[in-house]
Amino acid sequence: MVKFFETNFSYDYQWPAVTLAYFLRYPNPYSTHVVSSDTLSSFVNPETGNLHITRLHLKRGKLPASVARFIPKIKESYILERSVIDARNQRMCTESRNLDWEGVLSVVENQEYVPAADPARTDVKTIVKFESRLGHRKREEEKRGFFQGWGTSGVRASLEVVGRSRMRDGLMKSREGMKLVLEQLRERGFVGVVKEQRQGGWERWKKVWRGDHGMEEAR
């Protein structure tokens, strides 16, 4: 079964600032699980004038116990991100999808960034599609072995429930991270933010953030 989640959100910043912050959002204290981000390609379509950017993110983190029992060896995942920026019409569309263990749980997130009715704000529409594909096709013996003794339908249901929960949490943290970057852009400007990131300034942000939220995380 394929499941969808849709949400709308607005940033109190103009479209150019929000779209710039999107590409500067890693690293930030709300995404400490993102190890690296690399640009694979970028080009301008000569016919449309749209900018196309493809990036690859490496993320690491522990899985919930309910999922780890099914896929115990997964420690990290690669996320492929494709973006199309139409600067002329002020519209940016992005798509992010996991590359690892897609046969176990496929998650595809699409976002659209456009100016709000109030030009000082930017609207973001997010649609997430996630699906556990267990039982849809044969997998190699190594992966099949993880699920022996478990009902396929039950495993799919568990993975999809966990996927929805983590997706909601991820969206909330993503928004907070974007807000932080937007605040830094307003205070320091583009050059200042890039310089801060390259000099490891985000490490100081992490320490401050952990100090403020460490007790909350421990609960």
3 pLDDT above the threshold of 50 = yes
pTM of the model: 0.76
Distance of alpha carbon 103 from alpha carbon 139, whole angstroms: 8
| Tokens standing for residue 179 | 């807000």
47 pLDDT above the threshold of 60 = yes
Instruction: Tell me the mean pLDDT in the region 97-125.
Output: 89
Q: Please identify which residue in the block is written with the tokens 């890693």.
A: 26
pLDDT of residue 99: 87
How distant, in Å, are the alpha carbons of 12, 27, 194 from that of 183? 10, 14, 13
Distance of alpha carbon 178 from alpha carbon 26, whole angstroms: 9
Distance of alpha carbon 72 from alpha carbon 152, whole angstroms: 17
Q: Residue 169: enclosing H or E segment and its boundaries?
A: helix 152-198
Model pLDDT for residues 185-216, shown as the tens digit of each residue? 998 898 888 877 776 655 555 554 455 544 33
pLDDT of residue 141: 42
- Give the helix, strand, coil percentages of the chain, each rounded to 5: 40, 30, 30
| Tokens standing for residue 119 | 């030009």
Model pLDDT for residues 12-31, shown as the tens digit of each residue? 999 999 999 999 998 888 88
CA atoms within 13 A on the CB side of 113: 25
pLDDT of residue 58: 92
The structural domains of the chain, ordered by start, are 2-218 (3.30.530.20)
Type of residue found at 115: P
DSSP code of residue 45 = -
- Taking alpha carbons only, the member of 128, 125, 96, 91 closest to residue 111 is 125
SS3 (DSSP) at 178 = helix
pLDDT of residue 74: 61
Burial class (CB within 10 angstroms; exposed 0-12, middle 13-18, buried 19+) of 105:
buried
pLDDT of residue 139: 46
Q: Residue 29: enclosing H or E segment and its boundaries?
A: none
